[in-house]
Amino acid sequence: MVDRIRLGMVGGGKDAFIGAVHRFASRLDGEYELVAGALSSTPQKAMESGALLGLAPDRTYGDFREMAIRENRIKGGIEAVAIVTPNHMHYPVAREFLKRGIHVICDKPLTSNLADARKLAKIAHDSGALFVLTHNYTGYPMIRQAREMVAKGELGAIRVVQVEYPQDWLTEAVETTGANKQSEWRTDPARSGAGGSTGDIGTHAFNLAGFVTGLELDALAADLQSFVPGRRVDDNGHVLLRYKGGARGMLWCSQVAPGNENALRLRVFGEKGGLEWAQEDPNYLWYTPFGEPKRLLTRGGNGARDVAARLTRTPGGHPEGYIEGFANIYAEAARAIRAKKAGQPIPADVVFPTVDDGVAGVAFVDACVRSSARNAAWVRLG
């Protein structure tokens, strides 16, 4: 047995959705122990949340700066911190822990604006600490297999990328009802950033396309809408993508598409064949070599490769998905943290989204907003 990595958390108190997801994920492989937290900006709620999670009162903080300072000083202080706050707090929170050499595992998007994203990237690189961004879909086994197949040239030169992420939970103005805390901050540009659906789920789609294909975006043209009257951020977006090297892409993100829950889907087409993957059916990857029948590759079964098997916990036919995707990111982070602690290189097969991927995601949102304001003009990432 090895000692568990001492983990702290900022945000994610009682009634918070994503904090619980991160805690589930961190515990799944027994790599982490949650020992400290600043779980709410309201001190009383922070203490109540800490008590519910079994945290010691003196390791439960009402302020993230106090937490960073004290945990850095005490014996047995945290080695890593999970940041699960609204977007506008990612930068100030991460900064406090990074400058003290504490590893950061941060929910996406990286920050609420591009200036903060760039500053945070510099701080992260200068700190020597790890920065892990939890684009959890990159942790799905069949996505890792798709990435490997593209990298090995099995599709040939990539020509077309199509990615979409429709939801329907903001079809009505739920943010005005007081019944959904998430909807309130996710539609508030002061907390979410200038992008609504583009920042919340469009960044997932953009990141996934780049992760699998390895393509770098050159320019985009975005047509964003706020269909719900009075909504201050976009709730739907259509984006054309021009990649360096000549590939072309289309991205659709929407939170006002009735009948869709989390319908993230990726299609990649090259000169030799195509791949198709759907998040709501994540254990399957469709592969079609040009001129041959379509082939179904399954996680843990038919056609699965070592790169997928390494991230698989259950036998084929038993579904894995959302929580396990997060857990795979946490597991990869754990291997990297342990390597750093031992003064060894991070293993070559460890893969997780980095602070630089986060900057690219925020630059994507920024470009979408700028393009749409110019009647969907073509723009380059800022």
At a CB cut-off of 8 Å and minimum separation 6, what does 125 contact? 355
Rounded (10°) CA dihedral 16, 19, 24, 30: -150
Q: Give the residue from 246, 270, 158, 264 showing the smallest Cα distance to 206.
A: 264
Q: Give 332-339 contacts, CB < 8 A, sequence gap 24+.
A: 332/132, 332/139, 333/80, 333/103, 333/105, 333/130, 333/132, 334/5, 334/29, 334/31, 334/32, 336/130, 336/132, 337/5, 337/79, 337/80, 337/103, 337/130, 338/2, 338/5
Could you say which DSSP state residue 59 is in? G
Complete DSSP assignment for 4-27? PEEEEEEE--TT-HHHHHHHHHHH
For 187, the token pair is: 């539609």
Q: Identify the pLDDT of residue 332.
A: 98
Q: Give the residue from 162, 163, 161, 159 showing the smallest Cα distance to 246.
A: 159
Read off the pTM: 0.96
Beta bridge pairs of residue 32: 5
* Main-chain dihedrals φ then ψ at residue 301, nearest 5 degrees: -150, -125
Q: Identify the pLDDT of residue 1.
A: 52
Are 203 and 361 in contact by the 8 Å Cβ rule? The answer is yes
CB atoms within 10 A of CB 53: 18
CA dist., res. 316 & res. 302, Å (int): 9
| Strand duo 158-166 + 236-243: pairing | unpaired
Are 308 and 142 in contact by the 8 Å Cβ rule? The answer is yes
Are 306 and 300 in contact by the 8 Å Cβ rule? The answer is no
Mean pLDDT by 10 residues, the chain (382 residues): 90 93 97 98 94 97 97 97 97 98 98 98 98 98 98 98 98 94 94 97 98 98 98 98 98 98 98 98 97 95 90 92 97 98 96 98 98 98 84
The helices-and-strands tally (H runs, E runs) of the chain is: 13, 13
Domains of the chain: 5-137+328-354 (3.40.50.720), 141-314+359-373 (3.30.360.10)
Are 46 and 62 in contact by the 8 Å Cβ rule? The answer is yes
* Main-chain dihedrals φ then ψ at residue 244, nearest 5 degrees: -65, 135
**One-letter amino acid identity for 321?**
G
* Main-chain dihedrals φ then ψ at residue 230, nearest 5 degrees: 85, -10
Q: Give the residue from 284, 107, 112, 92 showing the smallest Cα distance to 204.
A: 107
